Amino acid sequence: MGANVGGGGKFVSDINVTPFVDVMLVLLIIFMVATPMMSQGLEVDLPQTKQVEVLSTEADHMVLTVRNDGKMYLDEYPVETMEDLEGYLQRLVKEKNKTLFLQADKSVPYGTVVEVMGHIKAVGIEKLGVIAEQPDDAASKGGQPARARK
């Protein structure tokens, strides 16, 4: 592949790994930039409140979303019925000792939210947070979706 600098006329049989490393670093950068764009959350119009904490980015929690059309999602996976919800919560949250956050659209009826919370408590989950967002004036100061601890 490369010529011998000494002038011996022999080819060097070593593999040049520099182009390989360059390509791998470019692919790594592309992966690092593209991954956050692929993990967009579900579209929910959250209620606003002033007293919230910033939602942690740790992986030891799951988010249960109740959308305004009545559909529920555990993280990004759809949940069909309340019975399915209890099974998923038992396996994925309770047995793994994770914290659960409830994120409900502000147009969801209060009775539906209470019913969901009843199923959460029926499973025996004690670590439950409620997600809300800061008002627009606080969001302009660097606010982001946050949690209100129960």
pLDDT digits 0-9 by tens, 7-20? 566 777 788 899 99
Higher pLDDT, 7 or 49: 49
What's the rounded Cα separation, in Å, for the pair 64 and 86? 12
Residue 124 gets the label, from left (phi > 0), alpha (psi -120 to 50) or beta, of: left
- Is the confidence at residue 142, as pLDDT, over 60? no
pLDDT of 7: 57
CB within 8 Å of 94: residues ≥ 6 apart: 123, 124, 125
pLDDT band at 28 (very low <50, low <70, confident <90, very high): very high
Alpha-carbon separation of residue 33 from 20, 25, 29, 55, 130 (angstroms): 20, 12, 6, 22, 30
Reply yes or no on domain 53-149 having CATH 3.90.870.30. Answer: no
Where does the chain hold its CATH 3.30.420.270 domain(s)?
Answer: 53-149
What pLDDT, on the 0 to 100 scale, is given for residue 149?
47
What pLDDT is attached to residue 143? Answer: 47
Separation CA 13–CA 111 (nearest Å): 74
Is the pLDDT at 150 greater than 50? The verdict is no
Between 11-15, 60-64, 77-81, 144-148, the lowest mean confidence (pLDDT) is in 144-148
pLDDT at 14: 82
Q: What is the predicted pLDDT for the residue at 135?
A: 75
Per-residue pLDDT band for 95 (boundaries 50, 70, 90) equals confident
Q: 19 φ, ψ to 5°? A: -65, -35
